Structure 1
């Protein structure tokens, strides 16, 4: 505790007057007594005599007052110098358990600066600083010897005096929410700088932590940090889902959300299933005969016989032959809604019967040079064929199944069940066709990449949810001049919104299922829209949390804190309002985090000091055709009427930012605004800051680091111990 010694200084001055009184007043009394005896009867000149007698004590009183005043001023200056050294030593203190030699020297330098040599002609000036009795405090002592002026006449040439001082970094329960612009322009390098803006931002945030510190691990003095990186969206959905599944559409059951997407148009295809074939029925038989064929020689004969002998010759016995054939039957093709089909069958049996005879022949035949008389008995054959044909049929029952065959896509706003993708993180893609097609691949997309070229890419069969959101229901009647109070029904502007209905719940951001209906561009493809910032999802946010458990005093850093900051990347357009509203929701003591953010939940029950540290490198960059937390405005008109141009849309977003800032001020937040690498601060952001002292411009990374440290030191409140 500081020990003032103001009373001691006054007592020193009073003591001098007292000593003077003790020494001077008795002598004056004796002289007065002698004079009184001599002039007992002579009263002329009494006033002059009495005045001469009184001047000596009066001189002592005036001299004592003058020296007392000098001593008081010297002591005040000494106390101020001691305090300055203690404050400087505590600010430089890296380890709360130790005050190093260098830190002591720095404290002494500040003392010397505030009490330079020769001040009030003081001598024997001594100042010492050590670590105080409590960790994190710096204690000091200072002493001097002051020469007197008038009091030298009375034997008091010097007066010693000393003071004590002590300082500590006194931090109340503090919540700091960083709302950080991580849009594509953060990849640029400012003129004259040596690193990109995103790299400079990371360094500045780390140095902010080093300046403010981790706070206490337990008890009052807790410091929590949260992060809300934003571009054209914020990544908060999975955090909110873990907090309460009912806050996200589809989090607790089947729920449909309307998206600008596509739906397959199909035609029914009927698929038959055939049952068991019946027994044959309806047979018919026919027996046509062809008659005998003409007689034909068999080339079997007997020579040298007479006609009588030929006629008496025994005829050969011929065997009949039978051939049979049967068709396997071809089942008929069913036509919907026919409930059975027939299968025709037939068989044929062909019998061939031979008949023989002998034919007598005689005559002369030439043999060499002479003619010879020859008699021949020639065997001949003829046949008769008989065919028997049988016909019958069977029946087979038919049942039908219906399948849909892809015909075309219908591009419009359609409801989509989001329960699976929200609860599991992935789901089957409702815009991917897996059924029958009539030729071609309906999952191949073609479109414009925005540069005059066309892309061809396939739709994925599954979709995933990164955690970005579509906002709760809003109004498209807010204009650039609307009142600064959030209108009823604009749930997306409600800092303390607690969802309990389809209108108030936040929805998953799913560019993989979203298609523009005007030109059928697919937002889920990996070139064009995403690279140009029309459908992006930044790094996941981080709720308020302590970073004290892994604090390293020598480097004033936390590995967990640094790991998160180093993971920030830059992509997309600039929507200040979405970053601000979610930074406020994560900081608010009354909304979805009321249980952990309220003053009653803070250590010691002390009030929490709440701060928004907002950093941006530019003005808004909103796009009518972009897929953002309000869908695609040119097609759905949630923020403004469809057809609103980019300038008009940005004016509305600026006003919405102002509304959110006004609401934050109403909740008692301290809002710091830093413009990085820009020449002027937009008016709405100047007005967003708590006051003119809470916004500033940083031209480059070095300036940004300095501004962040200044904010941290202001929040931290370096104080003298009382």
Structure 2
């Protein structure tokens, strides 16, 4: 019977936050584990029911289980000896040990999809994450030996603030990260929305890596713990839009040599549209013509405008509408040649049409908490950039994580693909590189347990249009594969995810990896997830499964022991 209450107390402690009457509730778990170790009518004892008590003592969750019985003594009863009372008890509570966790959450637009409960995936994720944090904190509002970080991702991730605070070099992109040097002291010209919000692009790398998670190709820096010495590249979504020539019905014509007419660059969506299908990210480089002209010829924008508008230079018969001109005489420039060029900003089609172009949104961020002026309206160079993440830090109060879950975790609309690798890479680096992102272990004689908890609701996916952009740029840039096929691109992203995971698991202090998927992904993604996390890969489809998955992960990470 003592073994029964011991097992029951540990089970109740693991399920401390699971109130209710379901099979996973703490009361039912206590009963189930007691029954496994002390069967009904054992030695004629009849049915013995354990009595659990759940309390919080000095900020620590404490689970006590008592059981008692009047045990009949069959042989001794012949001598007049009656049943003997037996009582046992067990108490379980948290065993303090340093614990370092990085949580990586999918904030893509599909997180607004409704689940079986009628709640959105995001609403259920928030509920599950609150439960996860509750288990980690074990009833307390502070926990000195817990270091928890959180980042979110879409096609990029927002770690710029963490990197800057740690003194990690950020690459300078002339015209973007040093915008103020080009403004000539002017303000109120639509410059605020052009500022970098902190999202990053992937490291320079090599193309077409192998599917093997244990093979690390030379030059593939985007799967390593090391951060490039020349700095991290800021994320910059260029001014672009899905286009449609309404006369020729030519769609998505930008970036192609066939787009030879200004009308080919008419955005399919107006700036006033707010639906989930909108794809107009045409933002002006301020409202000052001279400053805009200068910015258009900086590193940040010049190559993009060349690629986007080169079709106007083919054929060469009509030169007056060319956005790209010869840098010396402003004359015709053959885009297939090697002559230096410049951008004529004033010639950009529809640049003065307020239905097609607008100043960049200076309030681009999640519209939380309720009442904030923040919004996800386009256009913005930060389009698809989620809110800033939190570094892995010891001693942070529980309320900070509750606030992050509520206010910095939101389905970013309109949806524009999902790139799992960028979230996994930076989750790994921020956790493993405690030399760059230092934290003070309050129990220095104990090595911390380290874990990454990665969550997604779908497959890696690039947008299916010419203007799609993510942390690896456009498909046409071929940064990670010589192919422009979306499936090949997806596979390359997932292969890199697998290699990052392998690096994490083989650290000197190995990192445990948990993956929670809110649906059954396609084969390549599922295979990589399974190889990465093994039995810690959890596929969920219902509200209950999602909540249980996060609670069980937290329980697995929390160190519990018997104190009585």
Q: Which of 639, 646, 652 in structure 1 is aligned with 2:480?
A: 639
Is residue 87–residue 167 contact of structure 1 (8 Å, CA) maintained in 2? yes
Residue 536 of structure 2 is matched in structure 1 by: 694
TM-score by length of 1: 0.50
Q: Which position in structure 1 is the counterpart of 2:136?
A: 212
Specify every segment of 5 or more residues in structure 2 that has no aligned partner in the other structure, as ranges. Answer: 18-24, 239-299, 311-347, 349-356, 362-375
Please say if residues 205 and 565 of structure 1, whose CA atoms lie closer than 8 Å, have aligned partners that are also in contact.
Answer: no
Please identify, of 127-136 and 180-189, the stretch whose mean Cα deviation from structure 2 is larger: 127-136
The superposition leaves residues 105-162 of structure 1 with CA deviations (integer Å, 9 ceiling, x where unpaired) of 9899679867677442348979776669985434555444433344555675655544
1:234, CA displacement in angstroms? 0.8
Q: Which residue is equivalent to 1:373?
A: none
Q: How does 1:52-63 map to 2 (within 5 A)?
A: none
Equivalent pair of 1:530/1:536 in contact (CA under 8 Å): no
Give the alignment of 1:644-655 within 5 angstroms.
Answer: 644-655=484-495
Determine the structure 2 residue equivalent to 1:656.
496
User: For residue 330 of structure 1, what is the aligned residue in structure 2?
Assistant: none
- Alpha-carbon contact 2:122-2:411 (below 8 Å) kept: yes
Aligned pair 1:567/2:415, yes or no?
no
1:587 matched to 2:434: no
Cα offset, 1:580, TM superposition: 0.6
**8 Å contact 2:50–2:65 — kept in the other structure?**
yes
Query: Are residue 683 (structure 1) and residue 526 (structure 2) matched?
Result: yes
Aligned to 2:205: 474
The Cα of 1:579 is off from its aligned counterpart by 0.8
Contact preservation (8 Å) 2:193, 2:359: no
TM-score (structure 2 length as normaliser): 0.63
Q: 1:604 to 1:149 in 2, by over 3 A?
A: same
From 111, 118, 126, give the equivalent of 1:186.
111
Higher relative contact order (CA 8 A, sep 6+): 2
* Pair 1:562–1:167, CA change in 2 (3 A): same
Specify the alignment match of 1:248 in structure 2.
170
For residues 154 and 589 of structure 1, the distance between their equivalents in structure 2, rounded to whole angstroms, comes to 72
- Within 5 Å, give how 1:415-564 maps onto structure 2: 416=174, 420-421=178-179, 428=182, 463-476=194-207, 478-481=208-211, 484-495=214-225, 497-500=226-229, 502=230, 505-511=231-237, 513-514=300-301, 515-520=304-309, 535-546=383-394, 549=397, 551=398, 558=399, 560-564=401-405
Determine if contact 2:222/2:496 at 8 Å carries over to the other structure: no
Range with bigger deviation, 168-177 or 178-187: 168-177
Separation (CA, whole Å) in 2 of partners of 1:518 and 1:547: 49
User: Aligned runs of 1:162-311 on 2, under 5 Å?
Assistant: 162-190=87-115, 192-213=116-137, 222-244=145-167, 246-250=168-172, 257=173
Q: Residue 685 of structure 1: CA displacement?
A: 3.5
Matched with 1:39 is none
Residue 603 of structure 1 and its aligned partner are, at CA, apart by 2.3
Instruction: Name 2:554's counterpart in structure 1.
Output: 712
Alpha-carbon shift at residue 535 of structure 1 (Å): 4.9
Q: Is the 8 A contact 1:123 1:145 kept in 2?
A: no
Runs of at least 5 residues in structure 1 that lack an aligned partner in the other structure: 1-77, 95-102, 251-256, 258-415, 435-457, 552-557
What secondary structure is seen at the aligned counterpart in 2 of 1:713? helix
| Inter-partner Cα distance in structure 2 for 1:185 and 1:174 | 32
> Which protein is bigger by CA-based radius of gyration?
1
Give distance in 1, aligned partners of 2:424 and 2:196: 23
Q: 1:569 to 1:89 in 2, by over 3 A?
A: closer
Does the Cα contact within 8 Å between 2:237 and 2:383 map onto a contact in 1? yes
Aligned 8 A contact 1:625 1:634 in 2: no
Q: CA deviation at 1:702?
A: 3.0
CA contact (8 A) 2:61 2:139 kept: no
Could you say which structure has the higher strand fraction? 1
Deviation of 1:492 (Å): 2.3
Deviation at 1:463, TM superposition (A): 2.8
CA distance in 1, matches of 2:30, 2:527: 46
Aligned-residue offset at 1:585: 0.9
Q: Check conservation: 2:8, 2:29, Cα contact below 8 A.
A: yes
Conserved 8 A contact 2:454-2:515: yes
Please report the RMSD computed on the Cα atoms of aligned residues, expressed in angstroms: 4.2
| Structure 1 SS opposite 2:530 | helix
